[in-house]
């Protein structure tokens, strides 16, 4: 059976940390679905369509990566897409505590789905989308934190 993993997140915007996790995970899975969260209650900086467009551009030459969006429970999305794995990246012990709770709850809800964690490479530990957004909002240059194919000037974020 095909090993399909879902990599869920906000990707607001996608960073080189996210990109590295997906590329490394391609050696573990046959297919990875980058599932961009469409949360009606949580306002994002970049609109959903823009976030998806950026992710699609990053993986345009990787046929084993699919980009989609979803609402609702991640485990339900996995079930609907024959995905047996949830992929998450770990940067710090704070990430671990947060992810542990989610993964354990997911395990209770959907025992057949395994959450797989990849530890970030040290040079990406400090990168997170909140900081990248703050830099962009304040007119700074965040180029070094986003994948090389992304030209941030091409995308417009929304002020909150």
Q: What is the binding site for ligand ADP (CB under 6 A)?
A: 9-11, 15, 17-18, 21, 88-89, 91, 95, 120, 124, 127-129
Strands in the chain per DSSP E? 4-9, 31-37, 65-70, 85-90, 114-119
- Is residue 27 part of the annotated active site? The answer reads no
For ligand ADP, the closer of residues 21 and 113 by Cβ is 21
Residue pair 32/111 in contact (Cβ under 8 Å)? The answer is no
Q: Exactly one of 18, 51, 52, 124 is catalytic; which is it?
A: 18
Distance CA 31, CA 82 (A): 11
Q: How far apart are the C-alpha atoms of 19 and 58, rounded to whole Å?
A: 8
Which residue's CB atom is positioned nearest to ligand ADP?
17
- Mark whether 124 is an active-site residue: no
How many CB atoms lie under 10 A from the CB of residue 68? 14
Confirm whether 91 is a catalytic residue: yes
Closest separation between CB of residue 103 and ligand ADP, Å?
A: 10
Q: Is 42 a catalytic residue?
A: yes
Active-site entry in 27, 42, 93, 153: 42
- The rounded distance, in Å, linking the Cα atoms of 106 and 29 is 20
Least distance in angstroms from the C-beta of 120 to ligand ADP: 4
How far apart are alpha carbons 95 and 116 in whole angstroms? Answer: 14
User: Which residue out of 10, 15, 44, 129 is catalytically annotated?
Assistant: 129
Give the residue numbers annotated as catalytic, written as ranges: 18, 42, 91, 129
């Amino acid at each position: 059976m095909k090993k399909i993993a879902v990599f869920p997140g906000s990707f607001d915007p996608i960073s080189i940390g996210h990109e590295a996790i997906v590329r490394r995970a391609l050696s573990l899975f046959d297919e990875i679905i980058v599932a961009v969260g469409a949360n009606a209650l949580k306002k994002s900086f970049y609109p959903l369509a823009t976030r998806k467009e950026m992710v699609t551009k990053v993986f345009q030459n990787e046929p084993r990566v699919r980009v989609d969006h979803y609402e609702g429970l991640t485990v339900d999305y996995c079930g609907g897409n024959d995905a047996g794995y949830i992929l998450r990246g770990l940067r710090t012990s704070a990430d671990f505590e947060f992810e542990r709770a989610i993964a354990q709850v997911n395990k209770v809800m959907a025992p057949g789905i395994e959450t797989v964690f990849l530890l970030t490479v040290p040079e990406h530990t400090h990168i997170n989308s909140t900081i990248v957004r703050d830099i962009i909002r304040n007119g700074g240059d965040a180029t070094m934190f986003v994948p090389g194919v992304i030209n941030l000037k091409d995308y417009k974020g929304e002020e909150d």
